[in-house]
Amino acid sequence: QVQLVESGGGVVQPGRSLRLSCAASGFTFSSYGMHWVRQAPGKGLEWMTIISYDGSNEYYADSVKGRFTISRDNSKNTLYLQMNSLRAEDTAVYYCVKSGGGSGSYPNFNWFDPWGQGTLVTVSS
Amino acid sequence: EIVMTQSPATLSVSPGERATLSCRASQSVSSNLAWYRQNPGQAPRLLIYGASTRATGIPARFSGSGSGTEFTLTISSLQSEDFAVYYCQQYNNWPLTFGQGTKVEIK
């Protein structure tokens, strides 16, 4: 079955960087768009970014544009999120999510299914 | 950005009763609307996509309806695992956006 396993979370100081990874299995990784969605403690869900199946297209929420970079290595079935200039408001559980039906080049078919278990990032001095 | 607004914020329902949740989009999203359930301490789970198509393994007590700007999720007979937070999400335009959530609690 489809599995998404995030890693790389932890405690980091404001202004520093962190890279998250997501190991995918159980499906043809190179055929699907992949997302990162986050959830601050006690808050709702916030979509952050998507990368298309082949890495040729990326889209970002305004809140992370210019600071975060999504990438993928289809040879390793792995998704990444490079987070720079971290702020206290970036504290959240970060979920790796597979596009439900799309390659990721267009918004259509981009429901989220399934989700990883999440990794917690805490930005604090 | 398309703003998704869910109502009510909290819904108190008895087990076995029916629950009706609403989601409104600030502009038309056609049928590009999904619903998720999030149980405490867990990742969200897809329930409905395309406004009305149940995801794989989702029981028939969940149904979705609507198009354009007004959408509804109905749970016909609440089970214990259904007491959770529900989110709607549009995927018609970038950026993809969620509603703020509806918490379904035991009455």
pLDDT at A104 over 80: no
Task: Tell me the Cα Rg of chain B.
Answer: 13
| Average pLDDT over every residue of A110-122 | 97
Best residue of B91, B97, B100 to probe chain A, by most A CBs closer than 10 Å = B91
CB contact at 8 A, A77 and A24: yes
Q: 3-state DSSP: chain B helix, strand, coil percent, rounded to 5?
A: 5, 50, 50
pLDDT tens-digit readout, A9-63 = 999 999 999 999 999 999 999 999 999 999 999 999 999 999 999 999 999 999 9
Distance CA A10, CA A16 (A): 12
Residues of A in contact with B101 (CB under 8 A): 44-45
Chain B residues whose beta carbon lies within 8 Å of the beta carbon of residue A44 = 87, 98-101
Provide, as residue numbers in chain A, all residues whose Cβ is less than 8 Å from the Cβ of B92. Answer: 107-108
In which band, very low, low, confident or very high, does the pLDDT at A86 lie, cut at 50, 70 and 90? very high
User: How far apart are the two ends of chain A, measured CA to CA in Å?
Assistant: 40
A110 part of contact set with chain B, CB < 8 Å: yes
